[in-house]
Amino acid sequence: MTLFQLIMLGISAFFAYQVYQHIQTLKDPQEDSSSPEFDAEALVAKADEAMEAGDLQKALAIYKEADIKAPKDPETLFKMGYVLAQQNRDDEALEYYLEALELDEQNTYIHQALASLYRKMKAYDKAQEHIKRSLEIDDKNPITYFNYGNLLQDMGEKQKAKEMYKKALELDATLEAAKEELQKLKETA
């Protein structure tokens, strides 16, 4: 070997040793669960992004991981229920919604989600119970009145449905869906 080759070999060995030392100081992200990108809040945000992108399976998997990191968080459980409901996995969705409600009984969105799911399942009495509970918590949400109108229509109570659509429009005159449903009811009367 020439002197130049020996010098290059020495330099290469030195840099290889430096890289080795650096690698030894790195932590595996799986081991460092306190890393901000692996905390429950960051995971929920990541799952929200996946849901907005329409990747419900990915969103559900990430929400489940967040639930492991921070168990019994009503928001995470609610979102897991929502994703399952979007996939027509109603029985599973119902379980998560009910668990979320146990933890946060004053959450109007959980009551509304339960009402929608029960309506879909044609369990109208339970749906009505949750809509009414949602209104007790927040009687200024036009969407709740709109949803109540839809439920009452399904129950065959057209006059009461009209009243709910009118109330929704009193609170938000721009709610086109309520205007349309009210118009349909007027035309069939």
Instruction: Say which CATH number the domain at 41 has.
Output: 1.25.40.10
What is the total count of domains within the chain? 2
**Helix-then-strand count for the chain, H and E:** 10, 0
What is the sign of the dihedral through the CA atoms of 175, 181, 185 and 186? positive
Residue that the structure tokens 């020996």 belong to: 6
pLDDT of 46 above 70: yes
Are residue 39 and residue 99 in the same domain, yes or no? yes
Kindly state the tokens that stand for 101: 């409600």
What's the chain's average pLDDT?
88
pLDDT tens per residue across span 72-129: 999 999 999 999 999 999 999 999 999 999 999 999 999 999 999 999 999 999 999 9
Contact partners, residue 129, CB within 8 Å, separation at least 6: 115
In whole angstroms, give the CA distance from residue 114 to residue 147: 12
Give the range of the structural domain holding residue 57, as residue numbers without chain letter: 35-104
User: For residue 25, is it within any domain?
Assistant: no
In whole angstroms, give the CA distance from residue 53 to residue 36: 23
pTM of the model: 0.77
The pLDDT value given to residue 75: 95
